[in-house]
């Protein structure tokens, strides 16, 4: 019996002295200490209420210093065993670089099965805490020479439990703290530039897809800056209020769906796909509103919601591709990248894959790649619209111009002329009309042929264009007759313009062939319009009468009359 009591006593001492399931200690000697990747142990506290004394006796499992436990471990304990193999004390620093995304952290320092120090931090009140530096918790401790120390870290996360631990000496600790988030800053900077660009596009085009895309970008950059520590590093902001910004992970797909509906015009042309996208909006909006009251609960099923959004958007995109939408192939490229990297990230958050840069930054990488593709789609759509507008403008130009001389035709002259007449009547500005006719043009056609006649028309029209102002309306009215409407010109100014045109045409030498030069003259009639008393047609008729008077008086002259 005495032997039994002695055996039980020894076993009890061992259970108290040695934590259950303890792993082999990390040996630290005299050299530099820079530990980023090393084995640690973890225990998930499902009750969320166990204290240090209870937890130290629980069975711990082995993982690495950079790992994720998913969304089913809101409270987890991590244990690191350290052995100082040198005779001198070591001053070290435990880093938790992702402390910014948890509710609270407790650190317990144990030596020889006894508590020697502890630290408890509520991230809601951590802005001025001496151990928190721009989102990183830095816990200083001393490792006595030749002794072992066990560190317990209790992490109370909001939703997903992912963590990273590092152990450094003083020099390397400083280096880690001054390390920058250049990659995250670059992501955010690119997205801010795209937001600014699309805001300008919205003011220029009033297209709602630019607004939806900008809001999608803003949601994405907020989530990236928050999740990857840029908010904490730049503003030293943590806790419940900042954690609410994680709602951007819900608003982002909302604006993506709205963007798809706008850019693909599903409401007008693809009713089935539009109804599917609208149906997907409902749970997202419900989740967003619910998240205003309980963001933690929403984030626990956000992974599943994200997977559903991916499935719906990809299915709709394939449907639109089969129906021949010209833009959806580009969307599918960017969205495929988004799906791949988000799928990797979802597995990382659920603790299904080994942590590395790609896995932990999957959402950010996916957002950036898709954002760039969506920017290309917007630019490409603008190009398509510009091409369509250009073709429409070309058709309008063809409908309003004479194909031979490239001057306006009669229909355009009368329509635009009525507008200029109304404008002159309103402003009191002068307005004049010149009618021109090529003298003996039928003789040119009969003598040299219609090809030469066309050449004469082109050369004479070019002269009219050169000697008129940009604001003047020059038109071929029919055959060899032309009209010029001169806004802001009274009779004297119009008469002077007509005389310059007459002299210029008279001096023209039009080469019909190597040995044949054709010369022509024009007769012109000029009137100043009275906008309050006559229509444009009345003014044109008066100008024609003066033109015939010029021809009857011997041609190659200007006849003018003021009403």
Tell me the mean pLDDT in the region 370-388: 78
Q: Domain check: are 360 and 383 in the same one?
A: yes
169 and 58 fall within a common domain: yes
According to the model, what pLDDT value does residue 91 have? Answer: 93
Tell whether 188 and 150 lie within a shared domain. no
Tokens 């619910």: give the residue. Answer: 290
State residue 503's pLDDT score.
93
On whether residue 444 sits in a domain, the answer given is yes
Task: Give start and end residues of each alpha helix (H) in 236-270.
Answer: 240-243, 248-263, 266-269
Domain boundary among 110, 144, 178: 178
223 shares its domain with 320: yes
Question: Would you call 480 a catalytic residue per the annotation?
Answer: yes
Residue 392 has pLDDT above 80, yes or no: no
The answer to whether 166 and 153 have CB atoms below 8 angstroms apart is no
376 and 251, same structural domain? Answer: yes
**219-255: per-residue pLDDT in tens?**
888 888 888 887 877 777 778 888 888 899 899 999 9
Q: Which residues, in sequence order, are bridge partners of residue 474?
A: 484
Could you tell me if residue 8 is inside a domain?
A: no
* Domain finish residue from 178, 198, 216: 178
Write out the two tokens for 452. Answer: 């030469």
DSSP state, residue 508 = -
Is 4 domain-assigned? no
Q: How far apart are CA 443 and CA 137, in angstroms?
A: 99
Check if the beta carbon of residue 202 is closer than 8 Å to that of residue 211.
Answer: yes
Query: Which is more confidently placed, 411 or 395?
Result: 411
Do 212 and 291 lie in a common domain? yes
Determine the Cα–Cα distance for residues 64 and 77; give it in Å rounded to an integer: 13
pLDDT higher than 70, residue 448 = yes
Q: Phi-psi region for residue 440, left (φ > 0), alpha (ψ -120 to 50) or beta? A: left
Contact partners, residue 15, CB within 8 Å, separation at least 6? 57
Structure confidence at residue 21 (pLDDT): 42
Give me 293's structure tokens.
Answer: 């009251």
For position 159, what pLDDT does the model report? Answer: 81
**Same domain flag for 258 and 356:** yes
Q: Tell whether 519 is covered by a domain.
A: yes
Model's pTM, two decimal places?
A: 0.61
Find the domain containing 219 and state its range.
182-393
Which residues, 6+ apart, have CB-to-CB distance to 242 below 8 Å?
A: 226, 231, 232
Q: Which residue among the candidates 109, 418, 480, 534 is catalytic per the annotation?
A: 480
- Kindly report, residue by residue over 35-82, the tens digit of the pLDDT: 988 999 999 999 999 999 999 999 999 988 887 887 788 899 999 999
pLDDT-derived band of residue 302, with 50, 70 and 90 as boundaries?
confident
Provide the CATH number for the domain around residue 155.
2.60.40.2380
Which pair of structure tokens corresponds to residue 437?
């006719």
Q: What average pLDDT does this structure show over 369-385?
A: 79
Residues contacting residue 68 through CB under 8 Å, at least 6 positions apart: 160, 161, 162, 163, 348, 349, 350, 351, 355, 360
Cβ burial of 532 (10 Å; 0-12, 13-18, 19+) is: exposed
Query: What local confidence, expressed as pLDDT, does residue 144 receive?
Result: 93
Mean pLDDT for the stretch of residues 272-293 = 93
- Please list the residues that pair with 431 across neighbouring strands: 487
Domain count across the chain? 3
In a domain, 479, yes or no: yes
Ramachandran class of 195: left when φ > 0, alpha when ψ lies in -120 to 50, beta otherwise: alpha
Q: What is the CATH number of the domain that holds 448?
A: 3.30.70.270
pLDDT at 179: 64
Residues 279, 166 share a domain: no
Q: Which residues pair with 141 in a beta bridge?
A: 92
Encode pLDDT of 116-146 as tens digits: 999 999 988 887 788 988 888 999 999 999 8
pLDDT one-digit tens code per residue, 322-354: 998 888 888 888 888 888 887 787 777 666 777
Asked if residue 280 and residue 216 are part of one domain, the reply reads: yes
Report the DSSP beta bridge partners of residue 561.
527
Taking a C-beta distance cutoff of 8 angstroms, is the pair 42, 66 a contact? no
Q: What is the C-alpha radius of gyration for the chain, rounded to an integer number of angstroms?
A: 41
Whether 359 has a pLDDT exceeding 70, the answer reads yes
pLDDT(208) > 80 = yes
Q: Is the pLDDT of residue 561 over 70?
A: no
Please indicate, yes or no, whether residues 24 and 83 belong to a single structural domain of this protein. Answer: yes
Residue 270 sits in a domain of what CATH number? 1.20.1070
What single-letter DSSP state applies at residue 24?
Answer: P
Of 165, 159, 171, the C-alpha closest to 90 is: 171
Rounded-to-integer distance, Cα 440 and Cα 521, Å: 8
Instruction: Evaluate whether residue 400 is within a structural domain.
Output: no
Indicate whether 205 and 170 sit together in one domain.
no
Among 350, 368, 393, which residue terminates a domain? 393
In a domain, 402, yes or no: no
Task: Report the b/e string of 339-360 with b at 16+ CB within 10 A.
Answer: bebbebbbbbbebebebeeebb
User: Do residues 57 and 70 share a domain?
Assistant: yes
Kindly state whether residue 258 falls inside one of the protein's structural domains: yes
Our CA angle for 168, 174, 176, nearest 5°, is: 70
């Amino acid at each position: 019996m005495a032997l039994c009591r002695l055996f039980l006593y020894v076993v009890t001492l061992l259970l108290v002295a040695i934590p259950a399931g303890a792993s082999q200690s990390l040996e630290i000697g005299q050299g530099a200490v820079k530990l980023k990747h090393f084995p640690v142990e973890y225990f998930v506290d499902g009750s969320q209420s166990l204290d240090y004394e209870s937890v130290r006796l629980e069975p711990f499992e082995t993982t690495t210093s950079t790992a994720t436990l998913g969304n089913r471990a809101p409270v987890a304990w991590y244990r690191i065993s350290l052995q100082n193999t040198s005779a001198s004390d070591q001053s070290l620093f435990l880093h938790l670089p992702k402390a910014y995304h948890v509710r609270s952290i407790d650190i317990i320092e144990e030596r020889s099965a006894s508590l020697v120090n502890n630290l408890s931090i509520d991230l809601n009140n951590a802005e001025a805490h001496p151990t928190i530096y721009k989102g990183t918790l830095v816990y200083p401790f001393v490792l006595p020479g030749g002794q072992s120390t066990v560190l317990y870290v209790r992490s109370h996360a909001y939703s997903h439990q992912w963590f990273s631990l590092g152990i450094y000496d003083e020099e390397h600790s400083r280096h880690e703290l001054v390390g920058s988030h250049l990659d995250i800053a670059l992501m955010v900077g690119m997205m801010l530039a795209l937001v600014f660009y699309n805001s300008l596009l919205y003011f220029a085009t009033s297209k709602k897809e630019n607004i939806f895309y900008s809001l999608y970008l803003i949601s994405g950059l907020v989530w990236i800056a928050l999740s990857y520590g840029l908010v904490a590093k730049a503003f030293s902001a943590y806790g419940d209020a900042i954690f609410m910004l994680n709602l951007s992970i819900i608003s982002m797909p909302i604006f993506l769906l709205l963007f798809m509906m706008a850019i693909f015009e599903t409401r007008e042309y693809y009713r089935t796909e539009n109804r599917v996208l609208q149906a997907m909006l409902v749970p997202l909006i419900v989740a967003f509103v619910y998240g205003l009251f309980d963001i933690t609960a929403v984030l626990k099923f956000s992974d599943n919601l994200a997977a559903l959004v991916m499935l719906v958007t990809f299915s709709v995109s394939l449907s639109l591709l089969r129906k021949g939408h010209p833009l959806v192939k580009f969307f599918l490229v960017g969205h495929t990248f988004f799906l791949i990297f988000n799928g990797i990230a979802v597995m990382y958050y659920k603790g299904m894959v080994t942590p590395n840069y790609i896995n932990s930054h999957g959402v950010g990488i996916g957002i950036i790649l898709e954002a760039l593709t969506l920017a290309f789609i917007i630019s490409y759509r603008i190009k398509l619209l510009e091409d369509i507008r250009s073709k429409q403008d070309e058709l309008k130009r063809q409908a309003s111009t004479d194909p031979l001389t490239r001057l306006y035709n009669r229909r355009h002259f009368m329509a635009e002329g009525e507008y200029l007449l109304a404008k002159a009547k309103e402003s009191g500005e002068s307005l004049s009309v010149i009618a021109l006719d090529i003298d003996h043009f039928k003789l040119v056609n009969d003598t040299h042929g219609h090809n030469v006649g066309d050449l004469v028309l082109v050369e004479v029209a070019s002269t009219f264009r050169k000697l008129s102002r940009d604001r003047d309306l020059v038109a071929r009215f029919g055959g060899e007759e032309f009209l010029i409407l001169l806004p802001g010109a009274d009779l004297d100014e119009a008469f002077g313009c007509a005389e310059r045109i007459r002299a210029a045409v008279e001096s023209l030498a039009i080469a019909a062939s190597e040995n044949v030069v054709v010369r022509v003259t024009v007769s012109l009639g000029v009137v100043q319009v009275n906008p309050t008393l006559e229509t444009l047609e009345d003014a044109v008729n008066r100008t024609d009468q003066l033109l015939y008077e010029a021809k009857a008086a011997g041609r190659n002259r200007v006849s003018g009359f003021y009403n």
